Amino acid sequence: MSLPTLPEGAGLFARLRLAAQSLMILKDDPGNPHYGPLFNACMDPETYARLAAAWRRTEAGRALLDERPSMQGEDLDLAHLAALPEHTLGHALFRYFDDLGIDPFVSDFPIRNDVDYLSKRYRETHDILHVLTGYEIDDYSEMELQAFVFGRLGLKQNLFILGAGVLQLVPKVGLWGMRRYVGDLWRAYDRGRRSEDFMTVRFETMWDEPLEDVRRRLIAPLVNRRPSPLAHTVQQVSM
């Protein structure tokens, strides 16, 4: 049985139907290699199309969309990244996977056009963003990362995940903790607005660069952030 795909030019009803179908799968299998990117593509085709149109007006953007480099599992040489000096971006990404005992993202999502590619590319940057921003992978910090990305890209899926995150976190942090939560999300959103466009960055060419140099170039400083109250919890969000 073939897996569903998003038809090119699909209308709102078809997109919502596929998004709902994807969520039913992702609820029990958040790392699903097909339905994660499919959900992304269903939620934000207009945003991805706008980004692609802007990229195609630049030489570097056209090259990235035409060549479609990949950072998913089989394209990451973890042994090579592990052998790089400890201060480099590549070694930091290896350490992230190794310390948490998780594997790089893998997708079988078909790439037929720029929107499909950007949907996959966005998911491939998720783990690198954890490394660059310093947000952990517990529930609380994952929502901060979603707010950060919404500040940078304005994706509808970020708002959807944030809304679901609020409902899940209320019993964990309490009503008083939610006051802090909203403030932390606002700071993460503002930090995203002040950061550079990470989606256009060819991280594949930067593994041997110092992590702090890459951080300074791309990510606005993290100011007065308190530790996550749920740092002992580990849950990877894959959408």
Residue 134 forms part of a structural domain: yes
> With contact defined as beta carbons under 8 Å apart, do 65 and 35 qualify?
no
Question: Across all residues in the chain, what is the average pLDDT?
Answer: 87
* pLDDT exceeds cutoff 80 at 27: no
Tell me what pLDDT residue 155 has: 92
> What is the total count of domains within the chain?
1
Residue 5 forms part of a structural domain: no
* pLDDT exceeds cutoff 90 at 23: no
Residue 73 forms part of a structural domain: yes
DSSP helix/strand/coil, 148: helix
Cα–chain-centroid distance for residue 44?
A: 13
Residue 204 forms part of a structural domain: yes
Which string of DSSP letters, residue by residue, matches 41-89? HHH-HHHHHHHHHHHTTSHHHHHHHHH----SGGG--HHHHHHS-TTBH
Average pLDDT in the 127-148 region? Answer: 92
CA distance readout (Å), 4 to 108, 110, 153, 200:
12, 10, 26, 28
Expressed as residue numbers, the domain containing 108 is: 12-218
Determine which of 29-33, 80-84, 123-127 has the lowest per-residue pLDDT on average.
29-33
pLDDT digits (tens, 9 = 90+) for 176-206: 677 888 888 999 999 999 999 898 899 999 9
Average pLDDT in the 34-41 region? Answer: 84
Copy the structure tokens of residue 86. Answer: 């400890």
Residue 233 forms part of a structural domain: no
Residue 91 forms part of a structural domain: yes
Give the whole-angstrom CA distance, residue 223 versus residue 234.
Answer: 24
Q: In angstroms, what is the C-alpha Rg of the chain? A: 18
Residue 195 forms part of a structural domain: yes
Residue 22 forms part of a structural domain: yes
Is residue 84 very low, low, confident or very high in pLDDT (cuts 50, 70, 90)?
A: very high
